[in-house]
Every structure is written in structure tokens, then in C-alpha cells.
Amino acid sequence: MIQAVAPKIEKNYLNEKVGLLSWLLTTDHKRIAILYTFSITVFFFIGGFFALMMRLELLSPRNWLVSAETYNKLFTMHGIIMVWFFLIPSIPGTLGNFLIPMMVGAKDVAFPKLNLLSWYIFMLGGGVTVYALFRGGVDTGWTFYTPFSTTYSTTYVVAAAVGIFIAGFSTILTALNFIATIHSMRAPGLTWFKLPIFVWSMYANSVVLILNTPVLAITLVMLAVERIFTVGIFDPALGGDPVLFQHMFWFYSHPAVYTMVLPAMAVISEIVPAFSRKPLFGYKAVAFSSIAIAVVGFLVWGHHMFVAGESVYSALAFSFLSYCVAVPSAIKVFNWTATIHGGSVSWDTPMLYAIGFIGLFTIGGMTGLFLAALGLDVHVHDTYFVIAHFHYIMVGGSVMAFLGGVHYWWPKISGKMYPEGLARLSALIVFIGFNLTFFPQFVLGYLGMPRRYAAYPEEFQMLHVLSTAGATILGVGYVLPLCYLIWAWHYGRDATPNPWRATGLEWKSSSPPPTHNFEVTPIVTAKLPYDYEAMKEELELV
């Protein structure tokens, strides 16, 4: 095809239709992914602002910036926005939406209209929650524990619950769409064991979301009914049991933690082989470990209630099961490192984020085992140790992977390259800032600093100041990519269809892809996924 010189501006999904309405009424999964990217970025910076305010307040042992009541609202809104409006929809809504149909070689997801509807529902839920925020916020903590949330809190609990309830439908619809797509829209020849691990992980993630989100919905309904009709569903004076609320909430929320990290693992499993120039080590083990995490993740929720009045026998069972769930996570970590081992590794930005993810996720996961131990949990329960632990998973894990994934697929999404030097620098800043923010919190927690307090004894000040300093650096690390990625969207140099020389169907299409993803429906003939050996031979031939 040498004579067919490509015209300067090809038709692709970005320029085929123009105007605001073409975006708001689109059913193209790639454009919906961009809509999600835009909205979760806004929510991320709202949630980040609350975090910054909290860190500033904690510079001093006494309340110097905000009152204790305002501080309660700050950490609640930080949690609600970050969990339900950033972490859970982040990678599925953006990269998942963009990539799953491309990776399976389909024109679109199974139900494109439902996909768009899901974004509108998400925005409606976000809108209601932001309304609750502007009317004065919520102060229950993101976990809405009863009886405080049902009886004593005077803030906008029901409004926030309605916002989360609505957003839950969006999550369910997206998950349903992905499962149906992966089952029935795969290209000819693309069998299950030729699918990229990204698809496997997102599949496991969607299964979890289908099964746990409805339980959150009904739990929030019960909470709202109790609060509105004062009937005491969880009130011990009226025959209720507050621990039941915790059971139902964590039946949702513990698997929800895995729905934040499974997509992150999905991204890492793509980046690591591409930049090590090696097939993923132990493909089937990694694929099935995603399913194992999804299933076993449902059996461990009781470890949040060791000191809440749960029976000791039940606590024993949950403790044991919590240790079990570490096994599939460890399988993944070992397989990623085995993939890197002996590979010809190139240190591009996505790989830097991936390496950071593996290290930080390991620390986060290992400290999780501390918390699953019955005796030790009594000591560190509800302290900064817990805060540090889950931020290592959610920020050190999910956010790092999200940034890594955005850099990795940015050429495909936008058709432009990002500035590599600046990107490497900001990956470094994020890594340093993150560790400086959250490592002191492990120490703080172990020394006994409880979570959710605006004031604290003076001997903790040193560590809190360190943490706040780290948060500032982390903030810079997040603003930088925002700036240079927007810059690159307009001024970056054009990307080739496959700038990383990676496998996977998404790289077979042009950058950015045409509206229907592929000029012709791809037929998969490769024997293996991640066949970097074959690709090496191919390149040598050229």
C-alpha cells in the first residue's frame, strides 16, 4: 500500500462529528470514555481539595484552620467523592470503556445506549452529592455508621445517600455492559485464553460490581427509611442491631475495595509485558487470580468488625479467609516481577508508574495482613495505620495505575504523544510525594494516633508535618500531568498506531481509532496473547 499516501487529516472518532451535542448524545464507547475522564478528573480535584484542607488543618495539634465539625465534614466528603465518584468509576469508566471493545475486536459495547445512560446517571448521582455538599455537607464518615448516621447526625445524610444510590445504578449498568460485551462480542478466533489480562481483570471487576452494588443500594434505603420514619431498623432500643448495618455495608464495601484495585491490576498486567518485551509470566495463573480475588473478596468483609461486637468465632473465620485473599494478589505480584526479570526493560513513564504500583501495592497488601490478624487489629483498629494501609492500596495502587494507564494509552486515545521527560519527572514526584505523605502515617497509627480527629497530642506533630509536606508534593505531581496532557492534546507530536510496539488488538487500529474501531473486523490468528517473541522476530525481519 505504498502508493496510497494517507491524507493529512484522517477521519477518526474525535473529528468525525463536531459540536457539544455530538458529544452529549454520543453512543460511541470511546467518546463516553472521554466524558468519564472529564467528569472523574473534576471529582478527583474536588476530593483532593478536601484532602489538602485536612492535611493543612493537621499541621498544628490544635484546631487552627477549621473547627472539629468542619473537619468531620471534610473527611466525609473526601471519602465519599473519592470512593464513589473517582476510584470505583475511574479505570472502568475511562480506560475500560475505551479499551474493552477494542481489545475484544468489537465495534462497540453490547449496549451502547445503556452506556451513555450510565454516564448520565453517574453525573446525576454526582450532582445530588455535590448538592448535599453545598448545602452543608455530611459528617458521618464515608461509611455512614449507624446509629450516628440515623439518629444523631444533623447533616445532609439522606441527600448524600441518594447521590450514592443513584451512582450505584451507573456502576451496575457499566459492569453489565462489560460482561455482556466480553461474553458475546469477541472477534473471530479470540478465545478466552487469548484475551489480554486487562479484559480478564475487568471481567472479574464487573462481576463483583454486579453482585455487591445492589446490597449497598438496599442498605442505604434502609438507612434512609430509618432516618425519615424514625423506625429504628438499626436501633438497639427498638430491637435493631447496628452491627447488621456494618455487615451489610462491608458486604458491599470490602469487595468494593477489590473493584478499585482489580482495574489497576488490569492496567499493570498490560504495561509490564509491553515494557519488558516479554510475554506475561504465568498467563493463566494471572487470569484466574483475578477471578479468585473477585470470589474470595466476598468472604472477608467481617474483618472490619473485629472490635465492633462481632462474635469471636465469626471473627476467626473472617480472619482466616482474609489471609486466603492475599494469595491471589501475591500470585499477581510474583508473576509481574517474574515478567520483568530477564526482560529488556525500558523505563518509559507507564513502566515507572507500574514499578511504583508493584512496590506500593505490596506494602499496602502486607500491612493488610497485619490488620487481618485478630490480636494486632485490636491495637491498630481505627488508627492512622489503617488510613496508611488503604491509601497505599487506593492511591499508591489505583491512582498510580490509573496515571500509568492514561500515559500508556494516551497516544491511542488522543493520537498525540505526551512529553516524555516531564512525564517521567512527574511520575517521580508522585512517588516521592506519596511515600512522604503516607509512610509517616503508619508510624503515627502504630503509636496510637486515632483516625478522624482534628486535634492531637503534641508529640505527633513532627510526623503530621512530614505527611502534610508530602501531600503538597503529591498535589504538584497530580497537577503536572493534568497540564501537560492537555497541552499534548493540542501540541503533542502525532502518535503512530503502535508507539510502544505492544501486542493487543487496540494497537492494530489507527491512533486515534476510527468511529467503528477497525476498518475491517479483525480475525485473531496469534497462538498466544502477549506474543512479544514473535513480534521480535517480525521486527528483525523488517
Partner 1 sequence: MSDPLVLELREQFATPEQQRHTSSIGIWLFLMTEVMMFGGLFVAYTVYRFNHPQAFAQGSAEMDIVLGSINSAILLTSSLTMGLAEFSAKFGRVRLSGILLFTTILIGLAFLGIKFTEYYEHYQQHEAPGVWFNHVGPHAPEVQMFFVFYFLMTGLHAVHMSIGILLLLGLIARNMVGSFSAAYHTPITVVGLYWHFVDIVWIFLYVIFYLPGLHK
Partner 2 sequence: MSGPSRKTYFLTYVGLLGLLLVNTLIAFVNLGWFSTVIAIGLATIMACLVAGILMHGFYEAKIVQIIIAGGVIFFLIMMSLTMNDYFTRGWLPFHTP
Residues at the interface with partner 2 (CB under 8 A): 183, 207, 211, 215, 243-244, 247-248, 251, 298-299, 301-302, 309-314, 317-318
The C-alpha atoms of residue 445 and residue 369 are separated, in whole angstroms, by 15
230 binds, among partner 1, partner 2, none (CB under 5 to 8 A by kind): partner 1
Count of beta carbons in the 10 Å neighbourhood of residue 52: 18
Q: Answer yes or no: are the C-beta atoms of 504 and 103 closer than 8 Å.
A: yes
Q: Decide whether 249 or 408 has the Cβ nearer to partner 2.
A: 249
Angle at 439 between CA 435 and CA 441, to 5 degrees: 135
Q: CB 349 → partner 1: shortest distance, Å?
A: 33
CA-based nearest residue to 268, from 328, 184, 356: 356
Name the maximum alpha-carbon separation found in the chain.
Answer: 83
Q: CB 76 → partner 1: shortest distance, Å?
A: 23
Question: Cell numbers at residue 81, please?
Answer: 467523592
318 binds, among partner 2, partner 1, none (CB under 5 to 8 A by kind): partner 2
- What single-letter DSSP state applies at residue 520? S
**Residues 83, 244, 299, 202, CA torsion sign:** negative
65 binds, among partner 2, partner 1, none (CB under 5 to 8 A by kind): none
Q: Decide whether 303 or 381 has the Cβ nearer to partner 2.
A: 303
110 binds, among partner 2, partner 1, none (CB under 5 to 8 A by kind): partner 1
Rg of the chain, C-alpha, whole Å: 23
Q: Decide whether 96 or 302 has the Cβ nearer to partner 2.
A: 302
450 binds, among partner 1, partner 2, none (CB under 5 to 8 A by kind): none
Q: Decide whether 162 or 262 has the Cβ nearer to partner 2.
A: 262
Cell 464513589 found at: 84
310 binds, among partner 2, partner 1, none (CB under 5 to 8 A by kind): partner 2
| HSE toward the beta carbon, residue 97, CA cutoff 13 A | 28
Q: CB 297 → partner 1: shortest distance, Å?
A: 15
Q: CB 298 → partner 2: shortest distance, Å?
A: 6
Q: Decide whether 309 or 457 has the Cβ nearer to partner 1.
A: 309
285 binds, among partner 1, partner 2, none (CB under 5 to 8 A by kind): none
Q: Decide whether 174 or 503 has the Cβ nearer to partner 1.
A: 174
161 binds, among partner 2, partner 1, none (CB under 5 to 8 A by kind): none
134 binds, among partner 1, partner 2, none (CB under 5 to 8 A by kind): none
Q: Decide whether 243 or 535 has the Cβ nearer to partner 2.
A: 243
Q: Decide whether 106 or 371 has the Cβ nearer to partner 1.
A: 106
231 binds, among partner 2, partner 1, none (CB under 5 to 8 A by kind): partner 1
Residue 513, classed as helix, strand or coil, is coil
Displacement of CA 428 from its chain's centroid (Å): 20
Phi/psi region, residue 477 (left: phi>0; alpha: psi -120 to 50; beta: rest), is alpha
Q: CB 246 → partner 1: shortest distance, Å?
A: 12
Q: Decide whether 4 or 312 has the Cβ nearer to partner 2.
A: 312
108 binds, among partner 1, partner 2, none (CB under 5 to 8 A by kind): partner 1
**Residues 150, 302, 316, 369, CA torsion sign:** negative
317 binds, among partner 2, partner 1, none (CB under 5 to 8 A by kind): partner 2
The answer for residues whose C-beta is within 8 angstroms of residue 65's C-beta and 6 or more apart is: 53, 56, 57, 59
Q: CB 90 → partner 1: shortest distance, Å?
A: 21
The C-alpha atoms of residue 350 and residue 406 are separated, in whole angstroms, by 8
The C-alpha atoms of residue 64 and residue 55 are separated, in whole angstroms, by 12
Q: CB 192 → partner 2: shortest distance, Å?
A: 12
Question: Cell numbers at residue 77, please?
Answer: 466528603
Question: Cell numbers at residue 293, please?
Answer: 480475588
Q: CB 186 → partner 2: shortest distance, Å?
A: 13
Q: CB 89 → partner 2: shortest distance, Å?
A: 22
Q: CB 397 → partner 2: shortest distance, Å?
A: 25
- What single-letter DSSP state applies at residue 5? P
Q: CB 256 → partner 2: shortest distance, Å?
A: 14
Displacement of CA 304 from its chain's centroid (Å): 21
Angle at 100 between CA 264 and CA 409, to 5 degrees: 60
Q: Which residue ranges make up the site for partner 1 (CB under 8 A)?
A: 106-112, 172, 176-177, 179-180, 183-185, 210-215, 217-219, 221-222, 225, 229-233, 237-241, 244, 247-248, 251, 521
Question: Cell numbers at residue 340, please?
Answer: 520483568
The C-alpha atoms of residue 67 and residue 234 are separated, in whole angstroms, by 30
The C-alpha atoms of residue 339 and residue 224 are separated, in whole angstroms, by 49
Q: CB 330 → partner 2: shortest distance, Å?
A: 23
Q: Decide whether 40 or 195 has the Cβ nearer to partner 2.
A: 195
Q: Decide whether 128 or 321 has the Cβ nearer to partner 2.
A: 321
Q: Decide whether 231 or 243 has the Cβ nearer to partner 2.
A: 243
The C-alpha atoms of residue 398 and residue 410 are separated, in whole angstroms, by 17
